[in-house]
Amino acid sequence: MSEAILDDVIEQKPDYALISGDFTQRARASQFEEAAAFLKRLPCPFIAIPGNHDIPLYHWPLRFLQPLRGYRRHINTDPDPILVDSEICVVGLNTVTRWRWKEGRVRSSQIKSTRKTWLSNADRLRILMMHHPPSEGFMKLSKILGEKPDLILSGHLHQGGATLHPDGPLLIAAGTAISNRLRGGQANAYNVIEVLSSHPHAVKVETRAWNKKSFESIAAQSFEGVDGKWKLTSGPAAVHIEVSSGHS
Ligand SMILES: [Fe+2]
């Protein structure tokens, strides 16, 4: 699967790869080494954040004392990375907490630094990436900030595709790229996000899924955002990635 997805990603000629965590199953060194070897073969720079599977679950001393040791060593020393170019500003937030393995949280220091980054990049498409999808609580925090991201990318749920949030931001969830631990009968999939225009904001989200031979486009959604409110301009309102969707 990793060879097939690499081949497909190379064909898409991406500028960046945005990876929303869960590089490993149990945060073991061998699993991180495998993930790092995969990342080295990407055809573009990547920005990544850790997922809950990237901290130890059963190794209690490590989980509580140095939960991100493996991640920092093999993936990235910075679990809250930032990427800025002339069109986009991506803020990655580490939402993993050692106390609650499955659930995430956003720390107040992260809110402060994110606000600062948004304010200094107000003219760019502002993309927030975090492993855990935003909860209602998070949306309230965003309101308190007074500055919301345009796009929110998340992982964790293994259900890909873009949906509109009534509060404004466009939510883009990652499917299961490589792992065979698939949920709800979904096929392996990933999203290709194309920035069509940064002023006014317009993006296309293409979901590419595994058809048991190769990755292929199964949905394309286009959205336009004005004053932080997005609307669907073409494509389905939600994407359903199914193993038995007619693919052989
Ligand atoms: Fe996860």
Whether residue 113 lies inside any domain: the answer is yes
Dist. CA 227 → ligand 1 center (Å): 31
pLDDT 10s digits, 177-214: 888 877 777 889 999 999 999 888 999 999 999 999 99
Dist. CA 239 → ligand 1 center (Å): 20
Residue 143 has pLDDT above 80, yes or no: no
Range of the domain at 84: 13-179
The pLDDT score that the predictor gives to residue 226 is 84
- Residue 101: count of CB within 10 angstroms of its CB: 15
Whether residue 66 lies inside any domain: the answer is yes
Sheet holding 170-173, edge to edge: 82-84, 88-93, 125-130, 151-154, 170-173, 161-164
- CATH number for the domain harbouring residue 31: 3.60.21.10
Residue 248 has pLDDT above 80, yes or no: no
Dist. CA 20 → ligand 1 center (Å): 9
Whether residue 4 lies inside any domain: the answer is no
Number of domains in the chain: 1
Residue 144 has pLDDT above 70, yes or no: no
Dist. CA 96 → ligand 1 center (Å): 9
Record the pTM: 0.90
pLDDT 10s digits, 157-175: 877 789 887 777 889 999 8
Whether residue 154 lies inside any domain: the answer is yes
Dist. CA 184 → ligand 1 center (Å): 15
pLDDT 10s digits, 4-13: 999 999 999 9
Dist. CA 232 → ligand 1 center (Å): 28
Q: Please state, in angstroms and rounded to a whole number, the distance separating the CA atoms of residues 42 and 50.
A: 18
pLDDT 10s digits, 83-116: 999 999 999 999 998 877 678 888 888 888 888 8
Q: In the structure encoding, which two tokens stand for residue 238, read together?
A: 């939600």
Whether residue 225 lies inside any domain: the answer is no
Q: In the structure encoding, which two tokens stand for residue 96, read together?
A: 């993993």
Dist. CA 154 → ligand 1 center (Å): 10
Q: Please state, in angstroms and rounded to a whole number, the distance separating the CA atoms of residues 32 and 228.
A: 37
Whether residue 227 lies inside any domain: the answer is no
Dist. CA 120 → ligand 1 center (Å): 31
Would you say 161 and 221 are in contact if contact means Cβ atoms under 8 Å apart? yes
The pLDDT score that the predictor gives to residue 245 is 43
Would you say 190 and 205 are in contact if contact means Cβ atoms under 8 Å apart? no
Whether residue 185 lies inside any domain: the answer is no
Whether residue 232 lies inside any domain: the answer is no
Full DSSP string of 38-80: HHHT-SS-EEE---GGGS-SS-HHHHHH-TTHHHHHHT-S-SS
